[in-house]
Structure formats: C-alpha cells, structure tokens
Amino acid sequence: MSEHNQLLAELGLDVALHDEMLAATDRLFRQTVGAQGGRPTTMAYFDDVLHRAHGGRVAELVEDKKAGRKTVGTFCIYVPEELAMAANTNPVPLCGGIQASIPHAEKMFPRDICPLIKSTLGLAFSKTCPYGPVKNLAVGETTCDAKKKTWEILAGRVNFHVMELPQKKGRLDIDLWRSEVDAFRMKLEELSGTKVEPEALGEAIRVMNAKRRALQAMAELRKVDPPPLSGLDALVVMQAALADEPVRFTSAVEKLNAELAGRIGRGTSPAKPGAKRVMIAGCPAVMGNWKVHALVEQSGAVIVHDESCTGSRYFDNLIDETARDLAGQVAAVADRYFKINCACFTPNQERIDAVVQKAREYNVKGAVHYVLQTCHGYNIEAMRVEAALKQAGIPSLKIVTDYSEEDTGQLRTRIEAFVEQLG
Ligand code: BJ8
C-alpha cells in the first residue's frame, strides 16, 4: 500500500472505493482539461492542486491538526475564511463535484435534490471523503432549502454549526448577518481555544484580499481578444482556489498572470481565430465537474468569464482593510460577504444587473446560464437573467443538467446550435 493510501486507511476511509472514484475523476480530467492543446506551462501547478486535493493536501491538514491547528469544513462561499484563519484553523471546502459518489447518497437521500449536495453526501456516507475524518467542525448556511434540511441530518452525526444567511438585503438583514458572522467567530474561538485578535484578523484579511486581487487580475487578462487562457483552465484555477493554501495559491496565480501577459504580447491564445466569446452564469462547477465548460469550448467558443461561485462571485469585492478594532473588522468582513449575489436572495436585482454588466465588460456574444438539476433558485431566476440579457442584445441558453454523462450528446447538440447562431 502506498504511503498516501496508508494515511487514508488510518483515517478510516474505504481505500479501494476511494481509488475507484479517483480513477473515474482522473479519466474525466484527461478527457476535458487534459485534452486541450497549448496550455500555459504554469497551469501545471493548478492541475497538481486538484490531484493533491485527495493526497498531499490531506497530509498537510493532518500534520497541522497534530500541531494543534484544527480544520473547519465549509459548503458555501458565504462562510468567511478570514475568521477561520484568524482563529488558527484551516478552512476547507467539502462540496462534491463527482458523479461516482452520488449513488451512495441516493441510498438514503431523495434522488431529486441537486447533484452538488448528493455528491457531497455520497462522499461522506461512502467513507471516501478524506476531509470528513480530518475536520473538527462543519459549517452550513441557510441558502437553499436542500442544504438547510441536509444540515439537520448532518448535525446529528458531526460537530455542526449553521450560519443564518438572510434572504433579503435590507438594513435588518445586514444587521442579522453581521451578528451571525460574529457568532461564527465565537464558535471558532470555542473550537480552537484561540481568541481572534485584531492583528490576526487583519493579517487574514490582507492574505485573502491579495488572493482576490490576483484572481481579479487573471479575470482582467481574459478581457483581451483573443483571451490568453481557456475557460476550462480558468475553472481549474478557481477549483484550486477553494482547496489550496491561500498564500501559496496567490503566488501561483501571480506567476500564471505573468505568463498570460506574455502570451497576450505574443498573440498566443487557446481559442481558434474568430472563436465566439461566451460567459457562464449560474451554479458553481466544483472540483470534478468540467462537463459544461468542456462542451462549450469543444463547440468552438471560448469562455471568457464565469459569473458563479467558481468565478467572480468568489473574488469580486475586497474587504475594507481600514478598521482597527475587532468589531469594525468583523463588520467589514460581513459586509463584503453580504455582497455575494446567490440566487437564494429575493428580490435579487443585484445579480441580474451583475450578469448584464459582466456580459458587457467581457464583450461576450452570448451567455450560458448553468443550472444544476433541481436547483430552483438558479432555474427560476434564469427567466429574469434571460430577459435582462435579451434587452441588452445578448442571447442566452439555459442548460439544466447533473454530473452524469448521460445527456452529453444532447447537450453538445444544443450548445453547438447556440454557438453557431451567435453573431
Ligand atoms: S452562494 S450558489 S456556493 S449556495 S446549486 S446547493 S444553491 S440547490 S451551491 Fe451555492 Fe453558496 Fe449559493 Fe454559491 Fe443549493 Fe443550488 Fe445546489 Fe447550490
């Protein structure tokens, strides 16, 4: 048994099943990301982050845990990573992007819930998620109904904390959210035994703002026509953003950005001449899920922006760094996170406006609104998104799909027809 599998066995994982799932994910990676030509050489780092997510990164977290730094599992980008870092814990995302774990969730859970939730639960229930035994606390949030009800099941099994995310954006809601963020700080302090001090929180804010700036710079480079990076590679970077240690990750993005600037200077692009610029809007595509991005780019278009939680919703808006006392810093953290436009809000004009603004800024010819099956928020909101884009003269296509490969042929036909008719 390899040293790595030895570690997974010690964590109580089903190593054989874990190997099987990784092999299926690796096959998809090779068929999509790996099948692209002319990739930037610095992308090797981000490929490695994805491959290390179930390997070296787990070993790092186990070592940290032995040294007293606990791990906090999250399911959503509303959970402020800065607070976890300032309380001397490591935040790690637990969202699943693979099909192979879903049947394990369907043995217990209803089949008609979103694949992201089923994939996550399937990894946990089948003992194939290495973060399950490593984490000391899991943090859910009140975004969609499927998640809220899932937390009730998980809370009976693991140490669980739920953050209440209000679903309107008025003054009372902001106040409630600020108090929820502060309650999360106290929960972290209780878990880690480390008081969040203004110096530590200030440093965590600077680290995460630097990460956001690097990702914003990468997004800027994609505005160039033709872009120096494929949409699929940009997605790999974003998937790595959720999993990697932030300082190391930021430095890797800065190196990638330098290479992309050089490619722009030489006119090097992964896009075919005249490739139509397309944006993706909607649900996140977390690690293991490259399906729709690959189909869009295999159809000859190039994705130049993602309005999603694996896109600009993750890195837009910096945290105000000027507050010096803890209360001011916590409020600044809360305010930045409250600007994320998830479809769980009502009304949600901010998101509709953001999609149209991004479409214009990135000069796209069309938008693909990506909806994970049974995600009612994004599915219904797509009507308003489509109408607003239409008014701005930008055609859009709504894709509702899961993680399986069953509908690939049908989706390919629809996407090719959509791209073909773009001006
Ligand atoms: S902020 S998008 S990460 S909740 S896709 S589980 S909404 S049914 S992932 Fe999400 Fe936070 Fe919103 Fe982003 Fe529910 Fe929809 Fe599934 Fe979703």
- For ligand 1, the distance from its centroid to the CA atom of residue 380, given in whole angstroms, is 14
- Beta bridge partners, 399, equal 370
Contact 97, 120 (CB under 8 A): no
Write out the H or E segment, with its range, that includes residue 370.
strand 366-372
Residue 1 has pLDDT above 80, yes or no: no
- For ligand 1, the distance from its centroid to the CA atom of residue 80, given in whole angstroms, is 16
- How much of the chain exceeds pLDDT 70, in percent? 100
DSSP one-letter code for 365? S
* CA-to-CA dists, residue 341 to 25, 46, 419, angstroms: 30, 26, 27
- For ligand 1, the distance from its centroid to the CA atom of residue 144, given in whole angstroms, is 7
Please identify, by atom number, the ligand 1 atom nearest to the C-alpha of residue 378. Answer: 15
Provide mean pLDDT across the span 231-257: 98
Token match 């998980």: residue? 154
DSSP one-letter code for 276? P
DSSP output for 285-336: --TT--HHHHHHHHTT-EEEEEESTTTHHHHSSPPP----SHHHHHHHHHHH
Asked if the peptide bond before residue 226 counts as cis, ω within 30 degrees of 0, the response is yes
- For ligand 1, the distance from its centroid to the CA atom of residue 117, given in whole angstroms, is 9
pLDDT digits (tens, 9 = 90+) for 369-401: 999 999 999 999 999 999 999 999 999 999 999
pLDDT digits (tens, 9 = 90+) for 41-62: 999 999 999 999 988 999 999 9
Q: Which residues line ligand 1 (CB under 6 A)?
A: 76-78, 114, 116-117, 143-144, 146-147, 283-284, 309, 340, 342, 344, 372, 375, 377-378
The residue contributing the CA closest to ligand 1 atom 14 is: 144
Provide mean pLDDT across the span 222-249: 97
- For ligand 1, the distance from its centroid to the CA atom of residue 388, given in whole angstroms, is 22
Q: Please tell me the pTM assigned to this model.
A: 0.97
pLDDT score for 54: 87
Distance CA 64, CA 58 (A): 10
Summary mean pLDDT of the chain: 97
pLDDT score for 156: 87
Residue 351, C-beta contacts closer than 8 angstroms, at least 6 positions apart: 341, 342, 343, 345, 381, 385
The residue contributing the CA closest to ligand 1 atom 4 is: 143
* CA-to-CA dists, residue 45 to 25, 36, 240, 414, angstroms: 18, 16, 9, 34
Of 165, 375, 381, 402, best ligand 1 pocket probe by most atoms within 8 Å of the beta carbon: 375
Of 74, 117, 121, 147, best ligand 1 pocket probe by most atoms within 8 Å of the beta carbon: 147
